[in-house]
Chains A and B, each alone.
Chain A
Amino acid sequence: MGEKIAEKDMVRLDELLADLGSQRGTLIPILQKSQEIFGYLPREVLVRISEKTGSPLSRIYGVVTFYSQFHLKPRGRNIVRSCQGTACHVRGAKGILSELKKELGLEGEEATTKDLGFTLETVACIGCCGLAPVIMVNDETHGRLVPDSVKGILDQYR
Chain B
Amino acid sequence: MEKLARAHVLVCGGTGCSSSGSKEIIPEMRDKLKEKGMDMEVKVVETGCHGLCELGPLVIVYPEGVFYIRVKPADVDEIIENHLIKGRVVERLLYREPATLATVPDYDDIAFYKKQKRYALVNCGHINPESLEEYIGADGYEGLAKALSMKPEEVIGEVKKSGLRGRGGGGFPTGNKWQFTRAAAGDKKYVICNADEGDPGAFMDRSVLEGDPHRILEGMIICGYSVGADEGYIYCRAEYPLAIKRLQGAIKQAMDTGLLGENILGSGFNFTIHIKEGAGAFVCGEETALIASIEGRRGMPRPRPPFPANSGLWGKPSNINNVETFANIPSILRDGGDYFASQGTETSKGTKVFALTGKINNTGLAEVPMGITMREIIYDIGGGIPDGKKFKAVQIGGPSGGCLPEQLLDLAIDYESLTKAGAMMGSGGLVVMDETTCMVDVARYFLNFTQDESCGKCTPCREGTKRMLEILNRICDGHGTDDDIPLLESLASSIKAGSLCALGQTAPNPVLSTLNFFRNDYEAHIKDHKCPAGVCAAFVGYTITDNCRGCGLCKKVCPVDAITGEIKGKHLIDPNKCIKCGACQAKCPFKAIDKG
B237-253 at interface with A (beta carbon < 8 Å) = 238-241
Given the known A-B contacts A85-B201, A87-B358, A102-B560, are A130 and B363 also in contact in the complex, defined by CB atoms under 8 Å?
A: yes
Distance (whole angstroms) from the CB of B466 to the closest CB of chain A? 18
Asked if A127 and B20 sit within 8 Å, CB to CB, the answer is no
Bound together, the chains give a CA A62 to CA B277 distance in angstroms of: 18
Measured between beta carbons, the chain B residues less than 8 angstroms from A140 are: 19
Name the residue among A92, A126, A129, A139 with the largest chain B CB count within 10 angstroms: A129
Asked if B19 and A141 sit within 8 Å, CB to CB, the answer is yes
Distance (whole angstroms) from the CB of A68 to the closest CB of chain B? 4
Among A4-12, A21-29, A110-118, the one that faces the other chain is A21-29
Other than the given A63-B298, A66-B455, A95-B583, 4 more pairs (CB < 8 A) read A24-B296, A69-B279, A101-B559, A134-B19
Interface size bracket, A side: 35 or more
Asked if A86 and B200 sit within 8 Å, CB to CB, the answer is yes
Asked if A27 and B296 sit within 8 Å, CB to CB, the answer is yes
Question: Is the C-beta of A142 less than 8 angstroms from some C-beta in chain B?
Answer: yes
Bound together, the chains give a CA A85 to CA B429 distance in angstroms of: 11
Measured between beta carbons, the chain B residues less than 8 angstroms from A68 are: 279-281
Q: How many A-B residue pairs have CB under 8 A?
A: 158
Asked if B431 and A86 sit within 8 Å, CB to CB, the answer is yes
- Chain B, Cβ-Cβ closest to A27: B296
Contact of A124 among B278, B293, B314, B449 (CB under 8 A): B449
Question: Is the C-beta of A70 less than 8 angstroms from some C-beta in chain B?
Answer: yes
Chain B interface (Cβ < 8 Å from any Cβ of A): 15-16, 18-20, 52-54, 56, 197-203, 206-207, 238-241, 276-282, 293-300, 314, 355, 357-359, 363-364, 395, 398, 429, 431, 433, 437, 445-446, 449, 455, 557, 559-561, 579, 581-583, 586-587
Measured between beta carbons, the chain A residues less than 8 angstroms from B395 are: 86
Given the known A-B contacts A28-B293, A86-B200, A94-B581, are A131 and B20 also in contact in the complex, defined by CB atoms under 8 Å?
A: yes
Asked if B363 and A95 sit within 8 Å, CB to CB, the answer is no
- Chain A, Cβ-Cβ closest to B202: A125
Measured between beta carbons, the chain A residues less than 8 angstroms from B449 are: 124
- Chain A, Cβ-Cβ closest to B362: A130
Asked if B206 and A66 sit within 8 Å, CB to CB, the answer is no
Bound together, the chains give a CA A131 to CA B300 distance in angstroms of: 32
Question: Is the C-beta of A39 less than 8 angstroms from some C-beta in chain B?
Answer: no
Contact of A26 among B15, B296, B437 (CB under 8 A): B296
Measured between beta carbons, the chain B residues less than 8 angstroms from A144 are: 20, 54
Asked if A95 and B429 sit within 8 Å, CB to CB, the answer is no
Given the known A-B contacts A95-B581, A99-B559, are A129 and B355 also in contact in the complex, defined by CB atoms under 8 Å?
A: yes
